[in-house]
């Protein structure tokens, strides 16, 4: 009988794979699972890329002979360190810090820091691996890394956050640098944390350099960086819709999350005429049937800035309903934007979205849809924009922040937003170039993003020889 799953994992062998593609996929995945036990998110992220890239590599055998895929699935290096700090009760606390420097083939390691109690090494390996292809798609010279800690910022005082960030950076500082590795924010790491981290790096090194992005505007940050991931995600969805002669104007949009990405995805969707009806956090979701307004969104931004729960929204605006412990995917919509976390939209929720008439999905979060959920979207041939493409706007503007820091100048809001717009368009074009089925208007954005992202990095690796 044919092998359909990879040993000791939930990874499925793509049912359409035959012969060489099947053998190579199985060999690579068996290796990944065996060498990286207990890291299911990393296995999932690798499998999602191999689905597209294995057939491509089998057709372009120079990559296979040079073992580019075997090299790409192994991070350049992984750093794990202890972070000790003192809480407000003068008790010593110990957390674990990570930085996975995945690939610097096309530029300095680049990617965010996540502070969340659920993380482990496998989380950062999945995120760092995704970042390789995403950063390549941006058209800018950035390699890939990711890091963070199992520190839980929820309920911590400002002083505790500061002490944690300073201790974390005291160790991380020796591994990063403006031409080496440039971290930024992600879940649990926003403007406040980046500022503490940057301040400590500057103190330790006595150097004012663009070693982090997402900095405050007063000390080297770029305009539009805060908005970039959410805005970029909506631009990408707009591009996908325009490709099939549609528009986001007038569409009903369901969004998960209420953090940085969700807030600005909601803002741009509304600016482009869409009706955004949900936001959520890890406790539940709010449904605003008539749609959010800018004023209501400002309330959410202020609420989340002070660490509030999304539930508090309904006390202020009784027009909305709060659904405790649920995710928003049961609400009928035209467009779904998962903007919270990985694996937050599963097969049955994907089926429900399609049944309710959803025509486009744009991933603001990284890997938010399960493999079975992705299969539902691809089988239904709706416009499904994977995170590597759809949420690349954030890291793209980080790269522009690095450029501005190197030039020691500061671009205007218009200049940066225009560039974001054209970068998202270019990412869309790359997906169309590598994901179209000849003779049909359908674009498989998963294949497009994976293959276009892979090619550039693979060609750089080929040029360097065996490293
Ligand atoms: P924030 O910390 O600002 O917001 C995270 C949001 O997601 C919150 O609403 C949070 O709810 C929710 N959330 C987090 N973890 C979980 C969980 N385990 N289950 C359910 N909900 C959860 O992070 P961002 O908005 O920056 O990041 C959101 C996603 O976007 C992540 O996948 C991130 O990797 C991705 N991303 C971020 C970029 C950026 O520039 N910031 C760039 C590209 C991608 P709660 O408050 O209850 O925890
Ligand atoms: O997942 C991501 O792309 C980010 N969290 C942003 C990374 C960055 O370096 O701006």
Q: Which ligand is nearest to the CA of 229?
A: 1
Q: Which two tokens stand for residue 392?
A: 């690349």
165-191 per-position pLDDT tens digit? 999 999 999 999 999 999 999 999 999
Q: What is the residue with the minimal CA distance to atom 3 of ligand 2?
A: 395
Residue 181 dihedral angles phi and psi, to the nearest 5°: -160, 125
92-111 per-position pLDDT tens digit? 999 999 999 999 999 999 99
Measured over the CA atoms of residue 29, residue 32, residue 36 and residue 39, the dihedral's sign is negative
Q: Is 145 a pocket residue for ligand 2 (Cβ < 6 Å)?
A: no
Q: Which ligand is nearest to the CA of 399?
A: 2
Look at residue 2 and tell me whether its pLDDT is greater than 80. no
Residue 182 CA: nearest ligand 2 atom is 9
β-pair partners for 86: 92
101-148 per-position pLDDT tens digit? 999 999 999 999 999 999 999 999 999 999 999 999 999 999 999 999
Contact indicator for 163, 193 with CB cutoff of 8 Å: no
For the chain, give the percent of residues with pLDDT over 70: 100
How remote is the CA of residue 79 from the centroid of ligand 1, in Å?
A: 23
Residue 3 pLDDT level (bands cut at 50, 70, 90): confident
pLDDT at 438: 86
Distance of alpha carbon 286 from alpha carbon 339, whole angstroms? 14
* Annotation says 146 is catalytic: yes
Question: Could you tell me which of 396, 337, 394 has the C-alpha nearest to residue 368?
Answer: 337
How remote is the CA of residue 267 from the centroid of ligand 1, in Å?
A: 16
Average pLDDT, stretch 58-81? 98
Of 261, 304, 343, the one to substitute when testing ligand 1's pocket (max ligand atoms within 8 A of C-beta) is: 261
Q: What average pLDDT does the chain have?
A: 97
346-404 per-position pLDDT tens digit? 999 999 999 999 999 999 999 999 999 999 999 999 999 999 999 999 999 999 999 99
Distance of alpha carbon 366 from alpha carbon 109, whole angstroms? 18
Distance of alpha carbon 397 from alpha carbon 392, whole angstroms? 9
Measured over the CA atoms of residue 137, residue 407, residue 364 and residue 193, the dihedral's sign is positive
Length of the chain: 467
Q: Which two tokens stand for residue 13?
A: 């062998």
Of 126, 229, 368, 405, the one to substitute when testing ligand 2's pocket (max ligand atoms within 8 A of C-beta) is: 229
Q: Is 366 a pocket residue for ligand 2 (Cβ < 6 Å)?
A: yes
Residue 134 CA: nearest ligand 2 atom is 3
Residue 11 DSSP code: P
How remote is the CA of residue 15 from the centroid of ligand 2, in Å?
A: 33
253-264 per-position pLDDT tens digit? 999 999 999 999
Residue 135 CA: nearest ligand 2 atom is 3
Q: Is 166 a pocket residue for ligand 2 (Cβ < 6 Å)?
A: no
Exposed/middle/buried for residue 282 (C-beta within 10 Å: 0-12, 13-18, 19+): middle
Helix (H) or strand (E) holding 101: strand 92-103
Of 190, 235, 260, the one to substitute when testing ligand 1's pocket (max ligand atoms within 8 A of C-beta) is: 260
Average pLDDT, stretch 437-463? 96
The SS3 of residue 93 is strand
Ranges in the chain annotated CATH 3.40.50.720: 228-390
How remote is the CA of residue 22 from the centroid of ligand 1, in Å?
A: 35
Of 115, 186, 190, the one to substitute when testing ligand 2's pocket (max ligand atoms within 8 A of C-beta) is: 186
279-298 per-position pLDDT tens digit? 999 999 999 999 999 999 99
Torsion of CA 281, 373, 255, 246, to 10 degrees: 170
**Class assignment of domain 77-208?**
alpha beta
How remote is the CA of residue 370 from the centroid of ligand 2, in Å?
A: 21
Ranges in the chain annotated CATH 3.40.50.10860: 77-208
Look at residue 219 and tell me whether its pLDDT is greater than 90. yes
How remote is the CA of residue 396 from the centroid of ligand 2, in Å?
A: 8
CA distances from 253 to 190, 282, 333, 336 (A): 25, 19, 6, 6
Residue 10 pLDDT level (bands cut at 50, 70, 90): very high
pLDDT at 46: 98
What CATH number is given for 228-390 in this structure?
Answer: 3.40.50.720
pLDDT at 1: 63
Q: Which ligand is nearest to the CA of 280?
A: 1
- Tell which phi-psi region holds residue 8, choosing left (phi > 0), alpha (psi between -120 and 50) or beta: left
Among the options 110, 125, 146, 456, which is catalytic? Answer: 146
pLDDT at 117: 98
């Amino acid at each position: 009988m044919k092998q359909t799953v990879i040993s000791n994992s939930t990874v499925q062998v793509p049912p359409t794979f035959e012969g060489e593609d099947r053998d190579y996929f199985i060999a690579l995945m068996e290796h990944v699972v065996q060498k990286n036990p207990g890291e299911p998110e990393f296995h999932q992220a690798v499998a999602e890329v191999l689905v597209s890239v294995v057939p491509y590599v089998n057709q372009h055998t120079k990559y296979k002979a040079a073992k580019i895929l075997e090299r790409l699935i192994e991070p350049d290096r992984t750093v794990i360190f202890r972070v000790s700090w003192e809480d407000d009760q003068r008790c010593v606390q110990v957390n674990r810090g990570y930085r996975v420097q995945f690939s610097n083939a096309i530029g300095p390691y680049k990617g965010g820091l996540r502070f969340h109690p659920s993380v482990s090494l496998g989380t950062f390996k999945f995120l760092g691996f995704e970042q390789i292809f995403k950063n390549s798609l941006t058209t800018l010279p950035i390699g890939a890394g990711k890091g963070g800690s199992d520190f839980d910022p929820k309920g911590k005082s400002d002083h505790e956050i500061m002490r944690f960030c300073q201790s974390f950076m005291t160790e991380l500082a020796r591994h990063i640098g403006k031409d080496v590795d440039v971290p930024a924010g992600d879940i649990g790491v926003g403007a406040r944390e980046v500022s503490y981290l940057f301040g400590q790096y500057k103190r330790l090194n006595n150097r004012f350099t663009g070693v982090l992005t997402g900095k405050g505007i007063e000390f080297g940050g770029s305009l539009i960086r805060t908005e970039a991931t959410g805005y970029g995600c909506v631009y990408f969805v707009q591009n996908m819709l325009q490709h099939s002669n549609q528009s986001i104007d007038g569409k009903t949009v369901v969004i998960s999350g209420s953090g940085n990405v969700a807030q600005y995805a909601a803002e741009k969707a509304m600016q482009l005429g869409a009706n955004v009806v949900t936001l959520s956090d890890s406790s539940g979701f709010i449904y605003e049937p008539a749609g959010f307004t800018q004023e209501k969104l400002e309330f959410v931004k202020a609420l989340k800035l002070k660490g509030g729960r999304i539930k508090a929204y309904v006390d202020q605006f009784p027009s909305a309903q709060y659904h405790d412990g649920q995710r928003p995917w049961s609400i009928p919509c035209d467009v779904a934007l998962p903007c919270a976390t990985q694996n937050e939209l599963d097969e049955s929720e994907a089926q429900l979205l399609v049944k309710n008439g959803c025509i486009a999905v744009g991933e603001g979060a990284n890997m938010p849809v399960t493999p079975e959920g992705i299969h539902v979207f691809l089988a239904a041939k709706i416009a499904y924009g994977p995170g590597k493409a759809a949420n690349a706007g954030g890291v793209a503007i980080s790269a522009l922040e690095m450029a501005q820091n190197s030039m020691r100048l500061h671009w205007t809001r218009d200049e940066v937003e225009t560039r974001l717009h054209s970068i998202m368009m270019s990412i869309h074009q790359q997906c169309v170039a590598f994901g179209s089925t000849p003779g049909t208007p359908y674009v498989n954005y998963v294949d497009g993003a994976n293959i276009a992202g892979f090619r550039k990095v693979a060609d750089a690796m080929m040029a360097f020889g065996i490293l």
